[in-house]
Structures are given as C-alpha cells and as structure tokens.
Structure 1
Amino acid sequence: MKLSADLQAFSSRIGHDFRRPELLVQSVTHSSVSSPTRDDNQRLEFLGDRVLGLVMAEALLASDRAASEGQLAPRFNALVRKEACADVAREVGLGAVLKLGRSEQLSGGRRKQALLGDAMEAVIAAVYLDGGFAAARDMILRLWGARVAQVDVDARDAKTALQEWAQGRGLPPPSYIEVAREGPDHAPEFRIEARLVTGETAQASAGSKRAAEQAAAKALLGEVTG
C-alpha cells in the first residue's frame, strides 16, 4: 500500500516512516466509515493509550527522582488525558487527515476534542506496531516536548482541585450548570456556571461541556483561594 500525499506529509510531521502504511491508514479511520473490509481505529486507540501511559510514567520518573507517587500521579494524568492528546493532535494537523463519515464531517468531527484525542492514541499504537516501543517512545517524547518538563507540580485538574478544596472545608462538591449554549450544532459554545453551596459562582465558556466545566472550576478556585 502506498500512502496518499496528505498521509505521507502527516507521517513526516510526526517523524515516522511507516514500513506498514496500512497501520497509519487504520489509525486515522473513524468508526463512521468502517466496514467489513476497512478497520477503524478503536482497537488501536486502546493500545495507544497504554503505550502513552508507559512512556509518560518512565519520563516522569526520570525527570524527578525525588517525587512521591502522590506528586507523580496528577502530573501523569495531565499528560495523558484526552485534552493533552487532542492538543498534540492539533499541533501535527491530525484532524485534516482523519477519514470520517459524512455525518461526522458535517458535525465538525475534525475539531472534536474527544475524536482528536482518540485518534492521537491510535497513531501512537500504529507507530508502536510498525516500529516497536523505541520508535513510539521517541515520537511521543518529541511531540509532547516540553510538556513533560513543564507539567505543573500540582497538576490536578481544576474540577478535582475545587472538589478537594470544598471537601476540606466540610462542603458538598460544587455543582455545574449549563447556563447557555450558542453557535451552530457542528461548533457549539457552552457556557457553564460552577457553584458552591456557600454562594460563590464563576462562569466560563468553551467548545465542549467538559472544557467549560474545567474552565469554570479554575475560575471559581481562583476566586475562593485568591
């Protein structure tokens, strides 16, 4: 199999020359276009998530030999969560080469965070199967770059940090309410309000509910701790 020009360019961007190009094709094939003769990337996503986790665990242990498990765990989660994978996917232009069904294309699938994150994990698995662990590790460390060194010492996500702050003061967990939704169906913008029972609130907007909730939690945490 010979890669198309766009996939060949993508292969160059991630720095891996595929001996088995069909693995790269499968890694960018969404389930919306799968068929009995065309495998999608879901199984590769499963494998890639595990490969990414091992690489990040090794990298974090090497970068801070004095850190405890309690310090390493939130940094690890920050580096392997879907948001981080999707950010890397955007940087290498993965969305442009995804093979999507018409409905996914019309709904803005090339920009969806979850879809991009899943596909990035599938690409990692494709490199692993094609070139072995060393090739996958080299690519991951190259693409994640300074993220490993710069990950926050306390890298808990904002919702977790806010919930722990509330629990530490005997309060129930904060609530998250969708107060507005704007934009077309293929590119919605959600506005979420984070609330504490003590009356403090903060709002934030993002292209997904999850991202908006995280942003609202971060804003509220800044208010109550600032």
Structure 2
Amino acid sequence: MRLAADLVAFSARLGHDFRRPDLLVRAVTHSSISSATRPSNERLEFLGDRVLGLSIATALFGADERAAEGQLAPRFNALVRQETCAEVARDLGLGEVLKLGRSEMMSGGRRKEALLGDAMEAVIAAVYLDAGFDAARDVVLRHWGPRIAAAATAETRDAKSSLQEWAQARGLPPPAYVETAREGPDHQPLFTVEARLSTGETASGTATGKRAAEQAAARALLARMEQKND
C-alpha cells in the first residue's frame, strides 16, 4: 500500500517513515467515513492514549528528580489532556489529512478539538504498532518536548477549578466563559475567551484551543481578583 502525497508529507512532519502505511491511513480515518472494510481510528485512539501516557510519565519522572507525586500529577494531566493533543495535531497539520464523512467535514470536523485530539492519539498508536514503543516515545518527545520542559518549571494547576473555588468561597456562582473571537486559518485557529464573574469582573485569554483559552482567561481573572483583594 502506498501513501497519498498528503500523508507522505504528514509522515515527514511527524518524523516517522511507516513500514505499514495502512496503520497511518487507519489512524486518520474518522468513524464518520468508516465501514466494514475501512476501520476507524477509535481502537488506535484507545491504545495511543496509553502509549502517550507512559511516554509523558517517563519523561516527567526523569526531567525533575526532586518533584513529588503531587507536583508530577498536574504536569502529567496538563500534557496528556485533549486540548494539548489537539494543539500538537494543529502544529502537525493533522486536520488537513483526516478522512471524514461529508457531514462531519461540512460541520468543521477538521478543526474540532476532540476529533483532533483523538486522531493524534491514534497516530501515536500507529507508530507504536509500526515500530515499537521506542519509536512512539521518540515521536512524543519530539512534538511534546517544549511542553514537557515548560511543565517541569511552570505552574500547571487547573486555573478554572481554582477560580471556581475562589468564587464559591465568596458565595458567588461559578464563572461563565464566553468565546469573543476566533481568528486564523481553519487548521490552526486562535480562540479568545472571556471569563466573567457575576459581580461584573472579566478577563480574557487567547490560545490555539478553546479550552486552553478558557484556562488562560481564568488564570488572568484569578490573578486580577487576588491582586485586588491583597
């Protein structure tokens, strides 16, 4: 089986030359276009999630020998969550090579965060089945590398949860999040989200994923409120 030109280019960006091209084809095949003879990427997604998790956990464990479990866990969660997988997928142009049914394509499937995150996990599984764990780990480290390095030193707490806890402690309802802008091409959109408290205070955040933008907005609003109350 020979890969189409767009998948050959994607494979090059990924940094892995598939000995079994059918694995990559399956990894980019969404259930909306699957059939008895064309399996979807859902089973690969299941496997890729575990391969990604072990790769990230091992990298974090070695990156900071003094970090306690309570520090490693939030770093791990930040790196394997769906929005981070989707960010890596956008960096690689994965949305452009996905095989989608017409309805999914028309509804913007190539830029949906959940779909991109799932497909990225499926691609990792395809590399694992094609060449083993070391090859899959190398792909993960290559494309998650800067994020892993940043996670070892950055504060990775869940800002949305922290802001909600702050609001609840003061008898306020949970914050609201409103998408106020979306820019950029379909394969790499940039979202701006505004976090709002019932008391009227707001703050905005911008990121390549909607959930990441919500986190950025929550972080900005929490910092503003904590500074205001100091």
Q: Which amino acid aligns with 2:96?
A: A
State the match for 1:119 in structure 2.
Answer: 119
Map 1:151-170 to 2 at 5 A.
151=151, 152-166=153-167, 169=169
1:224 aligns with 2:225: yes
Conserved? CA contact 1:52–1:80, under 8 Å: yes
Conserved? CA contact 2:18–2:127, under 8 Å: yes
State the match for 2:81 in structure 1.
Answer: 81
Deviation for aligned residue 1:78? 1.1
1:150 aligns with 2:150: yes
Conserved? CA contact 1:95–1:116, under 8 Å: yes
Q: Which amino acid aligns with 2:157?
A: R
The secondary structure found in structure 1 opposite 2:176 is: strand
Conserved? CA contact 1:85–1:121, under 8 Å: yes
Conserved? CA contact 1:179–1:193, under 8 Å: yes
CA deviation vs aligned residue, 1:189-223 (integer Å, no higher than 9, x gap): 98865444665444567897645543432231121
Deviation for aligned residue 1:225? 2.2
Across the two proteins, how many residue pairs are aligned to each other?
A: 223
State the match for 1:5 in structure 2.
Answer: 5
Map 1:1-226 to 2 at 5 A.
1-151=1-151, 152-166=153-167, 169=169, 171=171, 174-176=174-176, 178=178, 194-196=195-197, 200-202=201-203, 210-211=211-212, 213-226=214-227
Question: Once structures 1 and 2 are overlaid, which stretch shifts more, 200-209 or 144-153?
Answer: 200-209
CA deviation vs aligned residue, 1:33-70 (integer Å, no higher than 9, x gap): 01111001111111111111111111001000110111
TM-score for the superposition, normalised by structure 2: 0.84
CA deviation vs aligned residue, 1:15-42 (integer Å, no higher than 9, x gap): 1111111110000001110111100111
CA distance 1:208–1:12, change in 2 (3 Å): closer
Conserved? CA contact 1:71–1:153, under 8 Å: no
Deviation for aligned residue 1:161? 2.5
Unaligned runs of at least 5 residues, structure 1: none
Conserved? CA contact 1:47–1:122, under 8 Å: yes
How far apart, CA to CA, are the structure 1 residues paired with 2:120 and 2:87?
A: 9
How far apart, CA to CA, are the structure 1 residues paired with 2:90 and 2:37?
A: 29
CA distance 1:75–1:213, change in 2 (3 Å): same
Unaligned runs of at least 5 residues, structure 2: none
RMSD, aligned CA:
2.9
Deviation for aligned residue 1:175? 2.9
